[in-house]
Structure formats: structure tokens, C-alpha cells
């Protein structure tokens, strides 16, 4: 897993609007150590653009505070299965454009995942995906507790 934000780009008129851009990538293998079970390889590449960073560090936006908490993104997803360590399924490529709301205590994300090739199972060519992430380290101080 890796990530790179472009906040260190120069503050020039041509490059400053690229500073809110970030790239994240991950690759992995999930498998069973013993037996003829399936195992998978996967990879994801995400490009995102932080409106909050744009508002605070590049140019003040003329929208409400909650509006700058949104982060539009696009993901390119890859998965492929190995069955009993012999047969390999076709690679499954998908594109997932979406938007995330990043608040003080949680993140809510919603996107549409679109199959880019015919490797997706029938009826799984377009899907709505979502994520809810709670920031417990920000909630505990509000509750007056410091567990860590």
C-alpha cells in the first residue's frame, strides 16, 4: 500500500491547483495455505482531489464549510482468482467514480462501480458501493475518555 499527496508542489499559478491531488495504490494476495481453495490477487489505484485542501491552502472557495469536506475520487480496480492453484480466471477490471464526505468524526463514501470487461459475473456489471468509517480517536476526547 502506498500513497502520495501533491501538497509539496510549488505554489506557481500553473501547479497550485494540482496540490490537492493525491494518489493511493494497493496490491495484495489473499490465499489459503492448505487445500484446494480459491485465492485472489488484487490491485487498486485511486486518484482523489481534496476540496478541503484546495479551500485551506490553495484558494478560498466561496461555498459553505460542509461543502469543502467532500473529496471526489476515481478508482481503478483489478481482481483475478486462482482456483486450486491451477486455473486462472480472466482479470476483472472495474472503474469506480465516487465522492467521499470526510467530517471530524467519520467518513462516508458512495461510488458506482462499473465493469470494464466481460470478466464480471452476469448481473454484476454495475454496482453501488459505499463505506462508513468512524474516527474513534476523535470521538474519545469528546466523550472525556483517553483509552490510548
Residues 81-117: tens digit of each pLDDT? 877 666 678 889 999 999 999 988 899 999 999 999 9
Grid cell locating 70: 467532500
> What is the tally of structural domains in the chain?
1
Give the pLDDT confidence score for residue 98 in this predicted structure.
97
5 — pLDDT class (breaks 50, 70, 90):
very high
The model's pTM is 0.81
- Rounded to whole angstroms, the Cα distance separating 23 from 54 reads 16
Is 99 within the bounds of a domain? yes
Give the pLDDT confidence score for residue 38 in this predicted structure.
74
Give the pLDDT confidence score for residue 145 in this predicted structure.
59
Pick from 75, 133, 129: nearest CA to 101: 133
Is 148 within the bounds of a domain? no
Is 147 within the bounds of a domain? no
- Rounded to whole angstroms, the Cα distance separating 95 from 45 reads 10
Q: What is the overall mean pLDDT for the chain?
A: 86
Is 84 within the bounds of a domain? yes
- Identify each DSSP E strand in the chain by its residue range: 2-5, 21-30, 38-49, 70-83, 87-88, 92-102, 106-115, 126-134
Is 28 within the bounds of a domain? yes
Domain residue limits at 52? 2-142
| For residue 65, pLDDT beyond 90 | no
Amino acid at each position: 500500500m502506498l500513497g502520495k499527496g501533491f501538497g509539496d508542489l510549488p505554489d506557481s499559478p500553473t501547479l497550485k491547483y494540482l496540490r490537492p491531488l493525491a494518489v493511493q495504490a494497493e496490491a495484495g494476495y489473499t490465499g489459503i495455505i492448505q487445500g484446494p481453495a480459491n485465492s485472489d490477487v488484487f490491485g487498486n489505484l485511486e486518484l482523489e482531489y481534496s476540496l478541503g485542501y484546495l479551500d485551506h491552502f490553495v484558494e478560498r472557495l466561496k461555498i459553505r464549510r460542509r461543502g469543502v469536506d467532500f473529496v471526489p475520487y476515481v478508482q481503478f480496480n483489478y481482481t483475478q482468482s486462482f482456483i486450486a492453484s491451477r486455473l486462472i480466471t480472466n482479470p476483472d477490471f472495474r472503474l469506480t467514480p465516487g465522492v467521499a464526505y470526510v467530517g471530524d468524526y467519520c467518513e462516508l463514501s458512495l461510488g458506482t462501480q462499473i465493469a470494464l470487461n466481460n470478466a464480471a459475473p452476469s448481473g454484476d456489471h454495475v454496482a453501488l458501493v459505499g463505506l462508513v468509517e468512524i474516527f474513534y480517536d476523535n470521538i474519545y476526547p469528546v466523550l472525556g475518555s483517553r483509552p490510548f
